Every structure is written in structure tokens, then in C-alpha cells.
Structure 1
Amino acid sequence: MFIRRTQTRSSATGERYFTYRLVRAERIQNKVRQVTLVNLGRHFAVDQTLWPALCQRIEALTTGQSYLLEPDLPMAASAEAERIAAQLLARTSAASPLSVASSSTKQGEHTDVQAVDVNSLELVRPRSVGVEQMGLWAMQQIGLIDLLIELGVSGPLRAGIVGSIIGSMASPGSEAATHRWLGSQSALGELLDVDYERMPLMTLYRASDALMKHQAVIERVLYDRVHDLFGLETTVTLYDLTNTYFEGVAAANPKAKHGRSKEKRHDCPLVTLGLVLDGSGFVRRSETFAGNAAEGQTLAHMLGNLGAPAGALVVMDAGIATDANLFWLREQGYRYLVVSRERARQFELEAAIPIETATGSALHIQRVEDSDHQEVRLYCYSEQRAQKEQSIHQRFCERFEASLKSIAGGLSKPRTEKRIDKLNERIGRLKERSRGISQHYVIELIADETGKQAIALRWSKQPQPNSRLTPPGVYCLRTNETSWDSERLWRTYIMLTDLEAVFRSLKSELGLRPVYHHKEHRVDGHLFITVLAYQLVQIIRRQLQTRGIKARWRSLRDTLSVQQRVTASFRCADGRTLHVRKATRPEPELAAIYQALSLDPLPGGVIKTYV
């Protein structure tokens, strides 16, 4: 076994280049010929001085032999030997030069009794396979790979797209991290017959570019297929935005702007992701905006070409529910259900109706008809919300009063600033950062005889009516859907909390944050890959929920990640080496998931090789 460097020519361009092959000399009809075992490609990077030791290591790995002195190979060359040996053992052709007898069988199909040396057992190349099989199953449900073929995406780029999406589901991170995961930790390549260990990192970047080229078509077709798969109703549309921050300044990206970070990363530039979803939580459309984009200015752009059915109900939070947006929705024939931006609160318990929430707690709703604007306002009171708001406001009040006491205490010290104008400036800055608590306080500085120096500071708390303090626990919903009853309107609005769960999943479970790219189209591609991963996760979770399995993706991923494909190698009694490549037996919880979706409990089958 040795490595040969061969010059060849590209049939497409006529370019001459060198390629490398792992060959073995064999006698065929009284002639010694070189038989190619593996084509190592033109980018084979192992130094030529290491080739003999590399071949020696490959021979040992495939035959199960051990050497008194192991070949002294650098780590990178050892990893390459492991990869090439695994590629040799994965060959299933009976005509292989290694005289391989292989089979891919299901558990219990037949027995194969061998006499082996148990002490020679080695378990090598563990690779995760649970999330990979589940991700491919979800892709099959909506025909994602077939869609990529129809769009003319080449085979290597399709493999890169599939690897990037499933990598986001299983081990979210940057493209570089996903590339390492695909090559050294995942069995996805075995399930697809793709050598991710040899795939250049640039292929993942180009795969992202290919996705963005067809984003509009992919989103539209996949949503239509999800709609048909689950029989969804499109009468309710949810819309909201979130943002993610960059690692670095991202000076080359015009969308990278400083804004209000929902993760309090005000030190980093941001980019904003807008999502339009249906009432079941599936994404209909996504788009990225600048990090400082005003929420209220994005709605018409996102919904304008959506093609939502006439009269669809749009649900959104107060940040987007500007008067201009509501006017636009009415002009376009949409209905809306939003959190009112009005500051004034009113609630009369006697005029409210009680309903029970999903958690079993009580909620009271007061319905007020607004005939002038043809709208309905729902003033909702929750005792749990009231307790939470009171706790928050109490904490803010304590901080505010502590600052006032600090100012008052300084007036008795000789070197402390006591001028009225300076103290008013200090109190003004305190009010500015007090989150609205200062409006509930009357503050008075007591001056000395000159009227320029303060000798005391007094304050009293006087809660303002129709504010968060009076009454607490009340919020207002506003809608132009006047024919629905109050409970139906409120339960429809609660769907927006599912959208918040979507963003939490994207950010914490699927790697939306942070962004390591600096180029605009690569950032857009990274976010779109995350959205596609979320779509697959929703398909999996929804199918499992119909079968009584309810869990967040993080819990499902932990359960799936336990299963591995490993190679067990034995020396047989006849001197040959038996290699068995097989998935570990699923744990009971994982077996229940596989059974619910009718999936193979041993992904990838069983491959046996005799050398």
C-alpha cells in the first residue's frame, strides 16, 4: 500500500493538475499492477515524507494489526489516516481490492456467528446520528432536498446546505464550528454518502450564498408544503422582530448599526430579524433589517407582498402597533389585534367577565366598544401580573428613594454641593433614569435664607391615576374585529407569546446569537439558515405533539444526541479482521420517539467488513 502522485487533465477546461491516490500492487495474470484503493484528490495535504508512515497506519487500522513501534505521525496526519481507513472500510462492493464482504442489515434479520478474539475488540470513530436522522426526516416531509434540486443547486452545495441546517439544529455555532462538527463529530455524511471531512469550509459559505439566491422561492414553497402537511389555517398572522449582535465592529455591513439591544449588548452593532408567522408558529416570511430599524416602520414592507388572505387577522405587540400601521392595515383590508400604546389604564371589576387561562389562573376582561373608530378595547386584569408589577415597581421605588436619601444625607456634610441649581440638575438626572417612577413623587428642596443653598430635601409618594401603579396588572388590547367575543380575542392574542417562544428558541437553541460574519449577504444567510432549522424543529415537535410527546427542542436534542454510530473491530479465528459499523441501541426515551415517527432505530444500518 502506497501513495502515488499522478498527473491528469480536466475534461472541462483542459487544465493539467496532479492528483493523489492510495494504491496497492497486486499480481493479476502474472503481471504486477497498481490497483487504486482510494482517490485522495488534488488537495491531499500530507507531507510526502510522512507517506510511508501514513500507509503503515492505514494498514494497521484496516487489518487490526498492531506494531511494536507505532508510526510517528503528527496529529493532522493521524486524523487523515483514520479518515482514509474509514473510507476503505465503508466500501460495500464485493469486487473491492480488499476482498470486502459487506452487508447493510436490519436488526434481527439473520444471524452471523463468528469466532473472534474478544480481547482484540476496539471501538473507534464514534459519530452522533440521532439529530441527523431526525433532521433528514423533517426535510423529507417537506421535500427540501428535492426543491434544491429543482432550483438547480449543485450536489456539493446541496450537501453544504443540508449540513449547515442540521448543524444549526444539533450544534449551533459559526460556519467554522459547523464545519468541524460535520467532519469530526457527526455521522450525517454516512447517511448522505457525503465526505464532509474532505469538504472545504468555503463550500458552507457558498451554500449560504446559494440559499439566499433562492430565499423567496424557498420560503414560499416550504410554507405551502407545511400548510398542506398539517392542514393549517392562515387566518391569523403573527409579526414581531428581534435582534442579534455582532462579534466585532462589522464595518463592511451597512445593516450593522447600534440600537436597542434586547440582550443589553449596547457595546456591539446589531442586526434585526423580522418574522411573519401563522397561528401555528411556522414562518411565512423572514427578512433582516438594520440594527437600528424602527419596529413600526417595517410592517408594510414585510406584509406588502406576503399574499395573506383578505381579511387575515394580524397580531403584533405595541412596538409595531403605531397609528400609521393600523391605518395601513385597515386600508389593505386586514384586521388587527394589538397591544394598545395608550398610557392611560382603566378597569372596573364589576363590568369584567372572568375566564380561566391555560395555567388555571383567573383573568378578568372588561370590554369597551369604541363606535367612533369601529374598534373594541379589552382591558385585561391578571392578579398574577399585578403581583409581578407591584414587586417590580416596589424595587424601582426603593432604588429611587435610596438615591433621594443619599442626596438628602449629603446636605449635612460640609464639603457636599448644596447649590440649588446643581442639586436640581442632579435630581433631574435621577428622574431621567428612574423608568417613570419619578412621576409618582413630589420632590421639594428647602432653601436657606439666601435662597441659593439647600438645607433639606423632602419628598412624598403620590401615585398618579391610570398608570402602571394604579391600577397594576392591567393591559389593554385593541382590535377592529368587533364580531368576536372577548375570550376568543384574548386567546388569539396569546398566540403572540408563542412567537416570543420562537425567538427564544432561535436565540438559545438554534444559534441565532451572536453573528461572526461581517459581510451583509453572509449575515443574511446565517440568519436564514437558522430560520430554516427552526422550521424543521417545528415540524418535528408538532408531529411528536400529536403523538403525546411534548418537549422543547433542547430536551429532544439532548435525548437524540446520545445515540452514536461506532465501528467495532475484532480479530477472527481465521486471521482476518472483522469491522462492524453500527448505531448504538436507542435508550427507551429515544426509542419512543423513533417509534412515534416510524423511524429506523439503527440509523445507517449495519455494515460488516472482513479484511
Structure 2
Amino acid sequence: KHLEGLTELEQAKADEWWQRMKEEGGIDRFDKKEQKARKESERYIDLATAEHTDARNVGAEWLCKQTIDKLGLEEFLRDQGWSNHSIHTALSALIIRTVYAVSERSSYYYLRDNSAAAELYTGSQDWTPGINALYKVTDKLYELKEKIERHLCNVTDNLFNIDNKLMLFDLTNFYFEGSKRESKKAQFGRSKEKRSDCKLLVLALCINKEGFIRYSSILEGNTADPKSLPDMIDTLADRNPVQKEKSLIVMDAGIATGENLNLIKAKGYNYLCVSRTKLKDYTLSEDHKSVMVKDARKQTITLNKVHTEGEDYYLEITSPSKAMTESSMNKLWRERFETELKKINDGIAKKGGTKLYEKVVERTGRAIQKYPSIARYYAIDYIRNEEKPKEMLRVDWKLKDLSAIESGHGVYFLRTNVETLDERTTWDYYNLIREIECTNRQLKTDLNLRPIYHQTDDRSDAHLFFGLLAYWVVNTIRCQLKREGESCYWTEIVRRLSTQKLVTTEGRNPLGDIVQMRQCSNPSKQATAIYDKLKLKYAPFRKIKICRTQSP
């Protein structure tokens, strides 16, 4: 190529040198040096232009995402014919429900503004499922309830090598805010949160000793404990065929009616429960030996095998601390009951008070009904007014036998149909019932399943089941950690991981290009310890994007 301003001789020399450089590879070496210099320049950012944007929470989300992968939920939903969009919506919403314990509506704002849950599935910062999609996906998941529970049971059994030799049964209830006029299941009942003003739903649960759900059912709010057991047993027998070594079902006294215990035996299971009544005619077994153990509050209790008529075997539990509690409670009930009776007499003596014989008897009956456990120890006499036979003169009362009230304090009995259980094993097995109390705590407190604001049964059922799915994720994490010696609650795990963020760092390099880097902050020491115990990765990805602003 002819260069302007050169003489013919200078042009000839230039052509000669150009040709020589081409033949000796000088041009290629120059290009390589230029490319190397460009690549090195791309790596450097002018600190004056650097800024951090779009920071999102990722620590607990990344922990949940890896746990959901272990549970195989993504593959399961894909096998059910779900699209990628529906799967990503469901699982990112499940992460939000697990970490933040918020409603479907609030989940949308967390996904949009605060959390990297959706980005973990799609890799995009711009995608957020809509509010309607979040409601619909929980309904679709509830339609697969039976299949999902079977899948999760199989996965966790294999993951933790669980034999399901022990099953724990219990019922708990959840209260509603609002009238719930459109609901058939929501009924007034005995609220364990003392919300007698609210309608309830009852959740029946069967879990194994590791805390994983084997059966769940959402029942009407006025369902009594004993009535719930037959369906639970039938479903359990279907999912867990009786093995050579029968499974042991542990339950509290509320469910353990004689009829239900017979049903459990008929289905091929063994049982262990608190006796609904205190034994009266019994003796200590001939080979008995008193065993001293500590209860959950580190108080000493005594265990004795006893002999009584019948096929079942009983263990007498004697707890001095429980005796003191029962004694003080009985004293309180006595004071309150006698106060009610004094009010009745005050009403008789008062001008304009209740004096009619029938009304006074009725009022006394209400007091007896209010304090039945203590009223049965009183002899009550109704003294009619001789001058006015239709009116009551006074009500007299006295204790029949004070020793009868005090006897049996601090003593209760465990009942089982398994002869081979020794004292300590029987006690240890029964105390596993605390595992289901822990489950209820996580559902109601850590995962905030109460109160329920939905007004239809379908939405309420879907809401509760979605909470149970979140519990599966939490319990999978906590079960692994407990095996590594870490037993903290879920809220504490979330707190430790909350310091890890996903952030975009942006700046200009010496070439004038905009460089964007999307990566996670390093986990703290506490978060790293959790990742290590669970054998999980510290971070999901690291992305670099270069936006060219000028031609090379």
C-alpha cells in the first residue's frame, strides 16, 4: 500500500521491511502482544469507577437449594410433566417459604427485591414469578400431595438409612383470622394457643424418630384426638408394610383409647403410650429393680415395672418434681372451687341475689363442671330455707378425704404391649414424643404456619401442605447437622447464613469497557462450618460480563 508523503526510494524501503516482517512473523508477534496486553487490561478496573449493585441474600437460599437438590424435587416434578417455568416458580417459592416463613403474596416481594432464590434456578437477575403464579403453584403441589410424600419418604429413608421402627403420633391445631364462612373444615374447638375466639384446622401427623413425616392429614377443627387414629393407621400400614420386627407406635394419652390400641394391634403394630387412667390394683413385678433416670429438666425420676391383670405391660413413673407441681395445682383448684361456692352463698344472702333452689343447684353444678378434677373430692349439701321452701338457705361443703387428693401425686404409668422392653428403653422410647413437639414448634414458630388467613378449604389445605414441604427441607438440614453434633434451631441456622450476599461489582477497565462481575461474598466462619458439616459448596456461581464500548 502506497503511503503518502514518501519518496519512491522511501516507499520501496518500507515495502521491503514490511515484506521482511511478514516473512519472519513479526506482525503475528505484534498481534499476540497486543491481544495479551488487551486481556491483561480487561482484568483491571479503575477503582474510581467501581460500584456494587443489586445485592441480594443468598446464604440460607443456597443452603436450601442444595438440600432441595438432595431431595430430588426438581427431577420429581419434571417426571410429573411440569415445565421448567413451573418448576422454577415452585422451588424458588419453596425456598422463600422455608427461609422467611412468609405468605404467598409476600413471597413475590422477597423474590423481586431481597432474595437470590429465583436467580439460583434461572441464572437471571431479571426473572421473578408473578403473584398469581405463586398461588397457583402451591395448589398444583397440593394436588400431588400423596406422591410427593411417598417420594420424600423414600429419599430420606435412603439418605439417612432410616428403618422406621419407631413412629410418633400427634395432633396439633392452627387457628384462623376471619370468619371462615366458606370453609367446612374450619370449626371451633380446643385451641392449644388459647384462641377460643377463632376457628381451627387440625393437622394429624405421624413422624419417625428422626422427625420426618410419614403421614399427614388436615382435619376439621373440632376433630377429637381418638377419632383421627384409624385413618392414620390405615395409611401408615399402606405406606409401611409390617416387617418381621414390628414397628412401635408412640403416642400420648389423648389418642390412646382402648379401641385405638386394639386397632393398632390388629394392623400388626406395637404401641407405647401414657395410660389414660392411673392403675389401682397392681403390684411391683417379682423381678423388678428400681431404675433412676433424669427427665428433660434434669430432675430425678424412678422407674418400676409393675404387674396387673391384662395382656399389657406397665411402667410406673414416680417424679417428685411432678408431685410438687400437682400438689400446688390442686391447692390452687381447691381455692378457686371454694371461692366459687362462697360466691354462691354470698348471692343467697345478698338482696336481689340468686336464691331459688333450682337456680342455686344449677349454679353449683356449673362450678363443679368448671373444676371436675377437684370437685369430686367434696361432699356438698344443699340447705333449703324452711320458711321459704322454694329458696335456698345456704350451700355447705367439706372435703371427703384430704389424703385421697394427695395420694398418687407425681405418679403415672406408661403402657405397652411389648414384653421385652426394659425400664430405661421404655422411658427413652416414650421421650421421643418430644421430637413431635419439636416438629410442632418448627411448624408454628420457625415456619410461622399460624395464623391462617385463607378463607376457603382448598387454599388453607394448600397453604399448610406448602408449609410441610418447607419443614421437609428444614428437617433434612437439621437431621444432618444433629448427626454432626450441631443441634441449633432453624432460625439460628438462617441467622448464621444471613451474612452471605450475592452482589454485582461494576467498573471500567483501561480499555474503556464496562466490566460486570456477579459473585457471592465469602461465607463467614459460622456459615462455613455449616457448609462443611453438610458437605455442601460455599457458593453457586461466579459470572463475569464485559460490555464493549469501543472497537478494538
One fold, TM greater than 0.5?
yes
User: For structure 1, which runs of at least 5 residues remain unmatched after alignment?
Assistant: 1-102, 104-109
Q: Tell me the secondary structure at the aligned position of residue 522 of structure 2.
A: coil
Matches within 5 A, 1:231-242: 231-242=161-172
Q: 2:85 aligns with which of 156, 166, 172?
A: 156
2:97 to 156, 165, 168: 168
Match of 1:383 among 320, 327, 343: 320
* Larger strand fraction of residues: 1
Q: 1:257 aligns with which of 187, 190, 206?
A: 187
* Partner residue in 2 for 1:227: 157
Shift of 1:140: 1.8
What RMSD, in angstroms, separates the aligned Cα atoms of the two structures? 3.0
TM-score when scaled to structure 1? 0.75
Given that 2:278 and 2:412 are in contact with CA atoms closer than 8 Å, whether structure 1 keeps it comes out as no
Retained in 2: the 8 A contact 1:547–1:596? yes
CA distance in 1, matches of 2:397, 2:313: 40
Which residue number in structure 2 is paired with residue 601 of structure 1?
Answer: 538
Could you tell me how far 1:470 is from its partner in structure 2? 2.5
Looking at structure 2, the residues matched to 121 and 424 of structure 1 have their Cα atoms a distance apart, in angstroms, of 85
Partner-residue secondary structure (3-state), 2:53:
strand
- Residue type of the partner of 1:392? M
1:603 deviation in Å? 4.2
Matched, 1:296 2:226: yes
Q: How has the CA–CA distance of structure 1 residues 184 and 430 changed in structure 2, closer, same or farther, with 3 Å as cutoff?
A: same
1:366 touches 1:378 (CA, 8 Å); kept in 2?
Answer: yes
Question: Comparing 600-609 with 356-365, which one deviates more in the overlay?
Answer: 600-609
Worse-matched range after superposition: 393-402 or 507-516 = 393-402
Shift of 1:133: 0.9
Structure 2 residue identity aligned to 1:301? D
- Provide the residue aligned with 1:146 in structure 2: 75
Tell me the distance in 1 between the aligned counterparts of 2:489 and 2:422. 32
- 2:178 aligned to 240, 248, 267, which one? 248
Letter in 2 for 1:338: C
CA pair 213-451 structure 1, distance change in 2 beyond 3 A: same
Q: 1:292 to 1:418 in 2, by over 3 A?
A: closer
Equivalents in 1 of 2:157, 2:380: separation in Å? 59
Query: Structure 1 residues 422 and 583 mapped into 2: Cα distance closer, same or farther (>3 Å)?
Result: same
Q: Distance in 1 between matches of 2:510 and 2:306?
A: 87
Q: 2:44 aligns with which of 85, 90, 114?
A: 114
How many residues are treated as equivalent by the alignment? 500
Q: Deviation digits for residues 562-586 of structure 1, max 9, x if unmatched?
A: 3222334446666555444333333
Q: Secondary structure at the match of 1:266?
A: coil
Give the match for residue 488 of structure 1: 425
1:227 aligns to what SS in structure 2? helix
Amino acid at match of 1:513: R
Q: Secondary structure at the match of 1:298?
A: helix
Q: Note if 1:305 corresponds to 2:243.
A: no
1:460 aligns with 2:398: yes
In the other structure, the counterpart of 1:553 is 490
User: 1:548 deviation in Å?
Assistant: 2.3
Match of 1:137 in 2: 66
C-alpha distance in structure 2 between counterparts of 1:413 and 1:222, whole Å: 67
Give the counterpart letter for 1:314 in structure 2: I
Q: Which residue of the partner structure matches residue 369 of structure 1?
A: 307
SS at match of 1:341: coil
Q: Distance in 1 between matches of 2:180 and 2:355?
A: 47
* Maintained 8 Å contact 2:175/2:451: yes
- SS of residue paired to 1:287: strand
Q: Tell me if the contact between 1:125 and 1:567 (Cα under 8 Å) persists in the aligned partners.
A: yes
Q: Where does residue 200 of structure 2 map in the other structure?
A: 270
| Deviation of the 1:241 alpha carbon | 1.3
Larger radius of gyration: 2
Runs of at least 5 residues in structure 2 that lack an aligned partner in the other structure: 1-38
1:503 Cα deviation after fit = 1.0
Between 274-283 and 443-452, the greater mean CA deviation after superposition: 443-452
Matches of 2:374 and 2:51 in 1, distance apart?
68
Q: Are 2:277 and 1:342 equivalent residues in the alignment?
A: yes
Structure-2 change in CA distance of 1:462 and 1:560 (3 Å): farther
- Paired residues for 1:430-449 under 5 Å: 430-444=367-381, 449=386
Q: Which residue of 2 aligns with 1:208?
A: 138
- Take 1:451 and 1:348, find their aligned partners in 2: how far apart are those partners? 55
Q: Provide TM-score, normalisation by structure 2.
A: 0.82
Q: SS at 2:307's partner residue?
A: strand
Q: What is the rounded CA distance, in whole Å, between the counterparts of 1:384 and 1:462 in structure 2?
A: 26
Q: Say whether 1:521 aligns with 2:458.
A: yes
Give the Cα separation in 1 of the matches to 2:194 and 2:252: 20
Task: Assess if the C-alpha contact under 8 Å between 1:257 and 1:290 holds in 2.
Answer: yes
Deviates more, 1:261-270 or 1:130-139: 261-270
1:535-550 matches, within 5 Å, as: 535-550=472-487
- Give the % identical residues: 32
